[in-house]
Chains A and B, each alone.
Chain A
Amino acid sequence: MSDVFPKWTNRLPLLVIVGVSLAGTAAMAGVWYYLTPKYTRVGYQPKQPVAFSHAIHADQLGLDCRYCHSTVEKSAHSNVPATSTCMNCHNQVLKEDPKLALVRESFESGKPIPWVWIHKTPDYVYFNHSVHVNRGVSCVHCHGRIDKMDEVYHAKPLSMAFCLDCHREPEKFLRDPKLVTDLKYTVTAEKQELDGKKFVHDWKVNSSQACSTCHR
């Protein structure tokens, strides 16, 4: 048989196989890392109009989360406090501080401070804050150590898999509802297992995984 192709083409199949597998692996790894909320959401830290520090308020001063986010236990939606909540203290404390100029202005004009929303659930997801908080899902599970943040950032991926991790094994996360705002709370694995199973049983926790639980 006459030569149709030059001799070097004998190496071509091997090169193609190696090249395609490398490119395929790279593409998979890229999608895996760059196209999931672990990359796209975690670390999102927009500049807020007022440099409010959760570290000072929640950690140093020891304010409870619910002092400002007062609807978490009662409402599906958790509120960002109105300016009047800030002014409960700041009409006395740091009255003249230039960093709070916008807060005072907002209080006088009645126009809310344009806080930038960080933890957004997509519009096709139904999420109820109160049912989670009242059944011992702590703030820290989804929002991270807010009490250590000078400026708030997106600490957890909040992807569907993130939700399902807990919905599939709620006993690994549930705690006494009195402790939900205690972001420092730590527990041994044995106690968590014991407590968690008890809570799941006593409260008849049914962390449904049906599609329509969240996609209504």
Chain B
Amino acid sequence: MSAETSTLSAVKIAPPPKELEREPLVLKNRSIGWISDHIAGICEGKTPKWWWPAFLISATVLLMMAGMITYLISTGIGVWGLNQPAGWAWDITNFVFWIGIGHAGTLISAILFLLRQKWRTSINRSAEAMTLFAVACAGIFPLIHTGRVWFAVYPGYMVPFPNANGIWPQFRSPLLWDVFAVSTYGTVSLLFWYTGLIPDLATLRDRATNKIRKMIYSFGALGWTGSNRHWSNYEKAYLILAGLSTPLVLSVHSIVSFDFAVSVVPGWHTTIFPPYFVAGAIFSGFGMVLTLMIPLRSLCGLHDVITVRHIELMNKVILATGSIVGYAYGMEFFIAWYGGNPYELYAFKNRAFGPYWWAYWTMISCNVISPQFFWFKKLRTGVAFTFIISIFVNIGMWFERFVIIVTSIHRDYLPSAWGYFRPTYVDVLTFVGSFGLFCTLFLLFMRFLPVIAIAEVKGVTPQADPHHPLGGAKGGDH
């Protein structure tokens, strides 16, 4: 035995060649202690000066949305600009816009986890938070667009239960599939996010100096002690949830696309919709992640954790999904011609050259042209440039949904039923207000919860390897 050991230790393992060394995920060789202090510090330290003005503006915009919704429900759906023939307009556009944004969070947290993309650890927490807040914003619109919101629940249009009206939800309707898809998505995303938070909540609990703070974080940490058994259960649970979330990345937006594809409206009734919607969702989601992450990184001094490499990798996803979306736009036109259906062909001509041409070309410029800049390394590693492009992606993806919805239904089969949709100020302010909700939730999140997964980022540093000169249980105190 001892002979074997001696031969083994005699073997010298050469370090890997320099070109195979990976770029570090945390820059400046930051220690494990620095990571805890720095990230936990964001929610422990003094409220930064910019936070209160940002919060007050967001909360005011949120209140404005509450006012608009109250006005809508107390007066009626006519306060919006939609009417026959465009029965869906900004409401469903906003719904699809927000639900699409959520997809980046799930992709980062689930698919990149299963694919062992270690760079996800710096961004997954806030991307998942973004998912949850985006789902919250999305959920509002289909609910309020019914006008009499209580009808969504009480007579059983959405929730199946035996009732005095003797009616049951229409399970053949994609609108009902949507209810289940989105609520499943919200639930699984919440569980996934919370499971990941548990070790970090325990870190915050252990660092808390004030009693109330300690109690609140203890409540959230569910008695986490960091024992081996806890870690083992945690990692299993995390893997299972990642497995459950992975199909959701593809299924939720597929089902959202069925809201349109299952109908017989020219411009909606196409088989390309599910993959095209999923690609668009991931595209828009990464756009929003970057829009949030770039200011967050400079305001909270997270340059060593969210590095330019992270931004570059996300830009590659934007380039890939943006190109898929551009291909889908082209293919829709091709099929509209090749399919030989005059109504379909008219719907597409009308999109590009009809009264909503400006919306169509805004969409094309933002979604097809702007991601193509990321073929150049210099541009995709430019932080300010990325931020600008991410804003264009957000704008473009909102217009994509507007174009799909409104240009298809404002002119369908019967020319006598054609019309032109114009939003009212209530439409506009309700949409703007949803950003108030989103930003309010995000600002609260960053002040009270760790914006980066502390435990996971530690796990991808070289120091996490017990054989690393600075890592593992050295010195014998543990």
Contact = CB atoms under 8 A, between A and B. Distances in A.
A161 B166 contact: yes
A162 B167 CA distance: 11
Contact of A160 (B167, B214, B219, B225): B167
A36 B155 CA distance: 11
Given A4-B214, A4-B215, A5-B218, A164 B167 contact: yes
Given A1-B225, A4-B205, A160 B215 contact: no
Contact of B215 (A1, A5, A38, A157): A5
A64 interface: no
Contact of B164 (A1, A5, A161): A161
B163 interface: yes
Contacts of A176: none
B157 to A, nearest CB: 11
A37 interface: yes
Interface in A157-211: 157, 159-165
Contacts of A160: 164-167
Contacts of A163: 166
A36 to B, nearest CB: 4
Contacts of B165: 159-161, 164
Nearest to B163: A161
Interface residues of B, number: 11
Which of A37, A161, A164 is the most central at the interface, judged by chain B CB atoms within 10 Å of its CB?
Answer: A161
Contacts of A5: 215, 218-219
A4 B167 contact: no
Given A1-B225, A4-B215, A165 B166 contact: yes
Contacts of A162: 166
Interface residues of A, number: 15
- Please report whether the interface of chain B is mostly helix, strand, loop or mixed according to DSSP: loop
A1 B219 CA distance: 14
A166 to B, nearest CB: 11
Contacts of A1: 225
Contacts of A157: 164
A4 B164 contact: no
A29 B419 CA distance: 48
A37 B165 CA distance: 10
Which of A1, A160, A164 is the most central at the interface, judged by chain B CB atoms within 10 Å of its CB?
Answer: A1
Contact of A37 (B164, B214, B218, B219): B164
A37 to B, nearest CB: 6
Contacts of B219: 5
Given A1-B225, A4-B205, A159 B164 contact: yes
Interface in A19-51: 35-38
Interface string B350-376: 000000000000000000000000000
Contacts of B218: 4-5
A4 B218 CA distance: 7
Contacts of B205: 4
A165 B166 CA distance: 8
Contacts of A4: 205, 214-215, 218
A132 B356 CA distance: 51
A4 B215 CA distance: 6
Interface string B204-231: 0100000000110011000001000000
Contacts of A164: 165-167
Interface string B158-178: 000001111100000000000
A37 B166 CA distance: 12
A169 B195 CA distance: 51
Nearest to A167: B166
A43 to B, nearest CB: 16
Contacts of B225: 1
Given A1-B225, A4-B205, A159 B215 contact: no
Which 5 residue pairs across A and B have the least CB separation, nearest first?
A161-B166, A36-B164, A160-B165, A164-B166, A4-B218
Interface of A: 1, 4-5, 35-38, 157, 159-165
Given A5-B215, A37-B164, 10 more contacts: A4-B218, A5-B219, A38-B164, A157-B164, A159-B165, A161-B163, A161-B164, A161-B166, A164-B165, A164-B166
8 contacts: A1-B225, A5-B215, A38-B164, A159-B165, A160-B166, A162-B166, A163-B166, A164-B166
